[in-house]
Structure 1
């Protein structure tokens, strides 16, 4: 299983918004883009999709930008992926009719792996990712001392 660029960029943008959630200040696209090295135009499209799904809110005006629509500990990665890829991406394999016994066994294992991955993604929130980033930064600082 691989993470798509679309999912990676969206999650990076959400981590940036989550890390500034406590301040209550919206972040502008150029700020998120510069901090996370995401192309501006692509980020605009991703944030529009995330807004339609209710994961972020936008504020207009000179001090406008984007802010999380809910607390970072209430947004999990599975929800983000469903927003970007839709629920249909997951259920594509469920309509496959295996042609052989071996194919059926392989499909069963693949579905188990998919369910396990979904369970991990559902348990991991934006807050968890922010905490992991902070812990890694601390390790990096200690390593260089």
Structure 2
């Protein structure tokens, strides 16, 4: 399993917004894109999807931009991935060929792996990612001293 570029960029953008959540100031696309090295146009599409999913909200005007719709600790990574990817792990091959015991066993294990991954994503929030990032930065600083 790999994280898609779309999901990675979206999580990075949300992490940037989570970092600035306490200020209450909306962030502009170009600001987020520059900080996280994400193409502006692509980020614009991702933020529109996240807005429709209720994860972020937009504010119009000269000081407008995007904000998290809820506190970072209330937005799970699973919710973000579900908004972007759908996370439907069922296979569509059921209609194409007859089911065998072997294919059933493979699908059963695949479903178990996906459920385990989803459980991990449900247990992590944007706040958790911010804390992990901050502790990693502290370790990097300590390493260079």
Shorter-normalised TM-score: what interval?
Answer: over 0.9
Aligned counterparts of 1:130 and 1:137: Cα–Cα separation in 2: 11
Aligned match of 1:11: 11
Which segment is superposed worse, 110-119 or 95-104? 95-104
Task: Give CA-to-partner distance per residue, 1:94-137, whole Å, 9 cap, x none.
Answer: 87376322221111111100000010001110000000000110
What are the residue-to-residue correspondences of 1:51-90 with 2, within 5 Å? 51-86=51-86, 89-90=87-88
Aligned counterparts of 1:20 and 1:140: Cα–Cα separation in 2: 22
> Normalising by structure 1, what TM-score?
0.93
How much does 1:91 deviate? 4.2
Aligned match of 1:96: 94
Aligned counterparts of 2:102 and 2:48: Cα–Cα separation in 1: 43
Instruction: List gaps (5 residues or longer) in structure 2.
Output: none
Q: What's the Cα RMSD here?
A: 1.5
Which segment is superposed worse, 101-110 or 44-53? 101-110
Aligned match of 2:30: 30
Aligned counterparts of 2:40 and 2:83: Cα–Cα separation in 1: 20
Q: List structure 1 runs of 4+ shifted beyond 6 angstroms.
A: none
Task: Give CA-to-partner distance per residue, 1:32-90, whole Å, 9 cap, x none.
Answer: 0000000000000000110011111111112111100001001001111111122xx41
SS of residue matched to 2:26: coil
Aligned counterparts of 2:60 and 2:116: Cα–Cα separation in 1: 40
Aligned counterparts of 2:72 and 2:64: Cα–Cα separation in 1: 20
Instruction: List gaps (5 residues or longer) in structure 1.
Output: none
Task: Give CA-to-partner distance per residue, 1:10-43, whole Å, 9 cap, x none.
Answer: 0000000001101111111111000000000000
